[in-house]
């Protein structure tokens, strides 16, 4: 474990009842399966070098600890599973057949505790342990068949080639289409059992899917992914609720709220900025304010909340933006992005004299800013060059 505090890793792992006997490994047993693993390893390598996979060692260590806890409780080799975080505000998590899981920052940012995270990871791990990709590949025969299945099953029409460029064919199939209803139900059931063996509160499993459904409805959002699709989320919620209802010995279990909040709070900051840049200003506002509560001394979050209000147009609040940007600069006068945002906000409000010092300070602090030429042009309008003085009369 690299950055995630060892004590917290131990806290994640502590309640875990180890499965009896030798850990069971994920193995590609046939030539067909070995071929599939080789292909998905190539897809993973492309995804990992795409620039979309976050390098946040502490976060990865935490996610890895949760997966290890789920694996060991069920007698699985924890090293067979790994988790990576994708910088993307949409709702998505998926597994490759070799045990590599990916989760989008957008999905993680909407979760409230570790039990909710465990419910999604345990579901995804089951796709790997129960060889769902291999079973699906057999039924579809060819990659063209998989591509057609993606188009037919996708919740929104569109061109999936950019997604395939990032996730590969197998990754896109897992992320967009998921698997057959029977295999998805199996992933829910086995995932639920793994959660329960670990002592997680299985009551949180249906909750996370309700949270995601409410989020999609509230923002009238259409997303291409399995976990961004109302009917698929409703199926998960229904399955987990059914399993909980049938579990008479259910005693609550662990939610892991504080540990989750501490370990994943940076996701709120990272994803909040992505939401802002994607124009999802409500979601950005929600996540950035949650981060501010967790880290009240952050200058960056004040800037981002202010910037979100500034760029949100009619949905934004310029007065709030100004207040937060001024707060950020009161905390750290050398924080260049806040000078830029405040300078532009004042410039557009016609307060040219007030804008000028911020625009100038931004240029002084960030000498490599890519939008320097625009700021210089604004500054010229704020501080027009005085006309040259008339020549002194000859004496």
Partner 1 sequence: MRTHASSRSARTGVLTLGLAALLLAGCATVEPTWVTDSATPQTAKKIGVTASVPEGWARFTPDKDLVMTKDGFLLQTIRITRRDYGSKIENTDRTITQGMEDQEAAQLLLDAFAADQSRHNLQIVSNTPATIDGRPGFRIEVTYKTPEGLTIHETAYVALVDDSYVIARYTAPDRHYHEMHSGAFEKVVEGMKIGPMPGKKG
Q: How far apart are CA 243 and CA 187, in angstroms?
A: 12
Stretch binding partner 1 (CB under 8 A), from 232-240, 261-269, 275-283, 326-334: 275-283
- Using CB under 8 A as the binding criterion, the count of chain residues that bind partner 1 stands at 40
Contact 130/33 with Cβ under 8 angstroms? no
Tell which positions 227-266 bind partner 1, by CB under 8 A: none
Residue placing its CB nearer to partner 1 in the complex, 104 or 232? 104
Residue placing its CB nearer to partner 1 in the complex, 40 or 120? 40
- Tell me which of 373, 389, 392, 394 binds partner 1, using CB under 8 A: 373
**Residue 174 within binding range of partner 1, rule CB under 8 A:** no
Q: How far apart are CA 310 and CA 307, in angstroms?
A: 5
Q: How far apart are CA 231 and CA 227, in angstroms?
A: 9
* β partners of residue 254: 200
| Least distance (Å) between residue 225 CB and partner 1 | 12
Q: Report in angstroms the alpha-carbon separations of 311 from 123, 125, 145.
A: 38, 40, 43
Both tokens of 273, joined, read 């900025």
Both tokens of 169, joined, read 């064919």
- Tell me which of 333, 364, 371, 380 binds partner 1, using CB under 8 A: 371
Tell which positions 49-108 bind partner 1, by CB under 8 A: 49-52, 88
Contacts of 38 (CB under 8 A, 6+ apart): none
* β partners of residue 186: none
- Tell me which of 32, 42, 333, 380 binds partner 1, using CB under 8 A: 42
- Tell me which of 165, 218, 333, 364 binds partner 1, using CB under 8 A: 165
Contact 115/183 with Cβ under 8 angstroms? no
**Residue 274 within binding range of partner 1, rule CB under 8 A:** yes
**Residue 270 within binding range of partner 1, rule CB under 8 A:** no
Other beta carbons less than 10 A from residue 363's beta carbon = 18
Stretch binding partner 1 (CB under 8 A), from 6-14, 56-64, 157-165, 287-295: 157-165
Stretch binding partner 1 (CB under 8 A), from 47-55, 122-130, 196-204, 243-251: 47-55
DSSP 20: S
Tell which positions 315-334 bind partner 1, by CB under 8 A: none
Stretch binding partner 1 (CB under 8 A), from 33-41, 99-107, 126-134, 290-298: 33-41
Tell which positions 331-370 bind partner 1, by CB under 8 A: 344, 348, 370
Q: How far apart are CA 194 and CA 54, in angstroms?
A: 27
Three-state DSSP class for 104? Answer: strand
For the sheet containing 100-104, what is the strand order?
82-86, 100-104, 93-95
The H or E element spanning position 351 is none
Of 171, 173, 182, which is closest to residue 148 (Cα–Cα)?
Answer: 173
**Residue 138 within binding range of partner 1, rule CB under 8 A:** no
| Least distance (Å) between residue 337 CB and partner 1 | 12
| Least distance (Å) between residue 310 CB and partner 1 | 10
Q: How far apart are CA 356 and CA 7, in angstroms?
A: 49
**Residue 381 within binding range of partner 1, rule CB under 8 A:** no
**Residue 307 within binding range of partner 1, rule CB under 8 A:** no
Q: Footprint of partner 1 on this chain (CB under 8 A)?
A: 38-40, 42-43, 46, 49-52, 88, 143-144, 147, 161-170, 274, 277-280, 311, 313, 344, 348, 370-371, 373-375, 377-378
């Amino acid at each position: 474990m690299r950055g995630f505090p060892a004590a917290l890793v131990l806290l994640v792992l502590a309640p875990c009842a180890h499965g009896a006997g030798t850990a069971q490994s994920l193995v590609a047993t046939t030539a067909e399966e070995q071929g599939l693993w080789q292909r998905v390893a190539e897809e993973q390598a492309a995804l990992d070098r795409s620039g979309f996979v976050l390098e946040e060692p502490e976060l990865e260590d935490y996610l890895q600890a949760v997966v290890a806890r789920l694996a060991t409780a069920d007698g699985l080799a924890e090293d067979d599973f790994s988790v990576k975080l994708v910088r993307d505000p949409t709702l998505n998590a998926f597994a490759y057949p070799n045990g590599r899981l990916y989760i989008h920052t957008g999905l993680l940012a909407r979760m409230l505790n570790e039990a909710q995270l465990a419910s999604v990871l345990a579901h995804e791990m089951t796709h790997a342990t129960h060889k769902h990709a291999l079973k699906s590949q057999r039924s579809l025969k060819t990659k063209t068949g998989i591509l057609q299945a993606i188009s037919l099953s996708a919740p929104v029409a569109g061109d999936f080639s950019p997604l395939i460029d990032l996730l590969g064919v197998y990754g896109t199939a897992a992320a967009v289409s998921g698997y057959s209803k029977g295999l998805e139900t199996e992933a829910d059931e086995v995932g639920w059992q793994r959660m329960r063996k670990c002592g997680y509160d299985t009551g949180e499993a249906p909750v996370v899917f309700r949270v995601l459904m409410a989020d999609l409805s509230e923002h009238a959002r259409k997303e291409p992914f399995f976990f961004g699709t109302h009917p698929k989320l409703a199926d998960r919620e229904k399955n987990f609720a059914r399993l909980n209802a049938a579990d008479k010995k259910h005693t609550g279990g662990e939610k892991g709220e504080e540990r989750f909040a501490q370990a994943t709070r940076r996701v709120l900051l990272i994803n909040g900025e992505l939401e802002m840049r994607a124009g999802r200003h409500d979601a950005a506002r929600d996540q950035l304010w949650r981060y501010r509560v967790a880290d009240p001394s952050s200058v960056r979050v004040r800037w981002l909340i202010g910037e979100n209000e500034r760029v949100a147009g009619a949905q934004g609040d310029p007065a709030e933006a100004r207040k937060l940007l001024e707060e950020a600069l009161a905390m750290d006068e050398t924080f260049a992005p806040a000078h830029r945002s405040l300078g532009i906000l004042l410039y557009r409000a016609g307060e040219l004299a007030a804008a000028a010092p911020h625009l100038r300070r931004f240029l002084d602090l960030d000498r490599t800013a890519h939008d320097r030429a625009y700021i210089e042009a604004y500054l010229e309008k704020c501080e027009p060059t005085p006309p040259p003085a008339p020549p002194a009369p000859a004496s």
